A and B are shown apart, each in its own frame.
Chain A
């Protein structure tokens, strides 16, 4: 039988990938050389704006990674979609705020970073992470341990918990009586890093605090990698991700490992909350926003994979910042909806040719 000269099946299968690559190439050309009617013009005209946007994207990706890695870890190992991840982040942010206020005698008011030492930032972050690790452990032991294997039921349980936690945060935080319950709060970066540094490239000055945030994200990534790939517990976790039944059949204590992994995942959410409280501030709508961000990052990057989370964070950070910076800003009906439309486009592109995310594996 003669083979047809042109195989349509191949074309259809490769179409989404082709479209995605074509769109990426077009976007690069647009940003670097063309970008008409935009705020800055193309990169060749204003390289500083391009560099600043690129740095904003990468530093945001650092923060996204910290938060999303916790989510990805919990899912990768236990197949639990922790819908309460955003609530853990929010509670972590409020706890970090209360701790910093207590240490600096803030009286409920925003403190200036000049009054905050590095210690007064680090300790609140650690306390927040530890507190939420305990909460996560409690949730895991009470509700998730005996519902193993029932993915949907566990997702529903975590949704219920997120509703309750979110409502209770509004009832009790901030603790100071001078501030209204449910108010937005923020923590300050330590004074030593809350300043601009000259990068000596294209005359760009950048916030050292944001660069530290990126460094923290990288540090968390390295620490996670070392933990998962160089320690015994990490090895058990990876084995559990690959084949849970076999791992427990081999006599390894899967239950303890699950508990540890959930606690670590929750702690990462809280750490992200403490960082975000300094980056922007937290308020009662923050939990929903960060749940969305975590979801997009891990869907795009792939669940259960550190590299996937890195890829997802970078892509999301880039899409967010570049869509605001490099799309036309003239006209009455522009701009506001760009980031969200492009986020959806990113999601659609990736899912069209990799339904489990870029680095993901089927369940």
Chain B
């Protein structure tokens, strides 16, 4: 009988352990419900944009250090954390960093973890377009939480979905490409072009920016090709493009992990790429593109990323030195939009919390600034305005890949496009069809910035009009 009791005890032990463990886990995630403002910063630490992680955190935390008294734990590594953030006497705690991988499932589960398990009141982020679409839907259902987008370039979060608790202080993928199409027409003298784009919403949005501008001043797109996302072998899609003797150039809107393979497929069909015949988007230079693609395209133009590396204005220099002051030892490129956009988001949050006197929720959403001074803005006396969907109207800077002094590719700003709005001259409205395979059509159109795009030489905005 004694043995029997011992065995029963042995059997119940694992069960008890399981119950205790579950209770412990459940209890451990009890957050302290105090007056501390709880902030979460969402970024990607894996996947296609993993390189943006420290940059995003660094940008946001530099603003928190500068404007809210935050103290970096480790000036060489932003992800080590920050303490001492106080806005108007109210302490702010960074409860967690979200680690996405550019896919929707992880974005949602990280958002739930940050906003529900760790009870954050505000999120700065996410990094990528697809994540932002999913989080916009989440935001719609959680009106008491506030979301300030990090660097996502998808159009939906502030046009088609546009929840009242979501803010974006930078442009979307179409806005980023403003001016590049005009440069192709005026500087490269393209009249007929073909375009190849990823067959999904960011590809269409980014392409829309290039197409509208180019066709707006009189260019013609003779062929559109849409390889699906995650294509491994681009050869058959390249065959659908007209040959280099049939068009003046190609708009290349294949991004992410597809930029390199698609260009290689082109080279294996038509020979070495001529940089003067290729105009692309940010993927020509940023993240993987820097090592994989840019060396082959020295001299090519591309739509920017909303930033302006090398811009010589006082505001720009102030922004860059501020970030270097706090996170210089981290040695990342402070002109990168990953840093810049998260910096502006955090700066906006500080202003908003100061105005709302530490209140979150609807009060914070009312208090977040609709006008903010950002590093690379020049129009409107250097102030960025938000439109009625809480989406920024910003200046844009088309860029060119050049060979830097160290032999590596470098980005050079070549143009200045003032005050580009998400409506892109009126062609994108909530009720109009969103960017798609055939949308927008190739038509002549008068954009507000036509005739106002100025050349930028050596970081200075000149008075020379490009187009």
Touch between chains A and B, by CB atoms below 8 Å: yes
Contacts of A293 in B (CB 8 A): 232
Are B264 and A336 neighbours in the complex by a CB distance under 8 Å? no
Are B437 and A332 neighbours in the complex by a CB distance under 8 Å? yes
How many whole Å from B343's CB to the nearest CB in chain A?
20
Are A179 and B239 neighbours in the complex by a CB distance under 8 Å? no
Contacts of B294 in A (CB 8 A): 109
Residue B237 at the A interface, CB < 8 A? yes
Residue B387 at the A interface, CB < 8 A? no
How many whole Å from A264's CB to the nearest CB in chain B?
24
Are A285 and B239 neighbours in the complex by a CB distance under 8 Å? no
Residue B295 at the A interface, CB < 8 A? yes
CA distance A207 to B264 in the complex (A): 11
Are A181 and B265 neighbours in the complex by a CB distance under 8 Å? no
Residue A283 at the B interface, CB < 8 A? yes
Are B51 and A110 neighbours in the complex by a CB distance under 8 Å? no
Contacts of A49 in B (CB 8 A): 239
CA distance A52 to B243 in the complex (A): 13
Contacts of A252 in B (CB 8 A): none
Looking across the interface, which residue of chain B has its beta carbon closest to that of A281? B260
Contacts of A279 in B (CB 8 A): 233, 264, 268
Q: How large is the interface on A (under 10, 10 to 19, 20 to 34, 35 or more residues)?
A: 35 or more
Q: Which of B268-288 contact A (CB under 8 A)?
A: 268-271, 287-288
Residue B46 at the A interface, CB < 8 A? yes
How many whole Å from B364's CB to the nearest CB in chain A?
34
Residue A247 at the B interface, CB < 8 A? no
Contacts of B287 in A (CB 8 A): 180, 183
Q: Is the interface of B mostly helix, strand, loop or mixed?
A: helix
Q: Which of A171-203 contact B (CB under 8 A)?
A: 174, 176, 178-186, 194-196
Contacts of A108 in B (CB 8 A): 291
Residue A209 at the B interface, CB < 8 A? yes
Are A207 and B230 neighbours in the complex by a CB distance under 8 Å? no
Q: Is the interface of A mostly helix, strand, loop or mixed?
A: loop
Residue A104 at the B interface, CB < 8 A? no
CA distance A337 to B230 in the complex (A): 12
Contacts of B47 in A (CB 8 A): 182, 284
Instruction: Take A195-B271, A325-B236 as given contacts and tell me if A179 and B291 are in contact as well, using a CB distance cutoff of 8 Å.
Output: yes
CA distance A207 to B265 in the complex (A): 10
Most buried by A among B235, B237, B295, B437: B235
Question: Would you mind naming 29 contact pairs between A and B with Cβ atoms under 8 Å apart?
Answer: A39-B240, A60-B235, A109-B291, A109-B408, A110-B291, A110-B292, A110-B293, A111-B295, A170-B50, A178-B291, A179-B291, A182-B47, A183-B51, A184-B257, A185-B292, A186-B292, A194-B268, A196-B270, A280-B232, A280-B233, A280-B260, A280-B265, A283-B257, A285-B257, A290-B232, A321-B235, A324-B240, A336-B226, A336-B228
The 6 A-B residue pairs whose C-beta atoms are closest, nearest first, are A180-B51, A324-B236, A280-B261, A336-B228, A283-B257, A207-B268
List residues of A whose CB falls within 8 A of some B CB: 39, 49, 52-53, 56, 60, 107-112, 170, 174, 176, 178-186, 194-196, 207, 209-210, 279-281, 283-286, 289-290, 293, 320-321, 324-325, 329, 332, 335-337
Given contacts A109-B409, A182-B47, A280-B232, 13 further A-B contacts (CB under 8 A): A56-B235, A56-B236, A107-B407, A110-B295, A174-B291, A183-B51, A183-B287, A184-B288, A195-B271, A281-B260, A283-B48, A321-B236, A329-B240
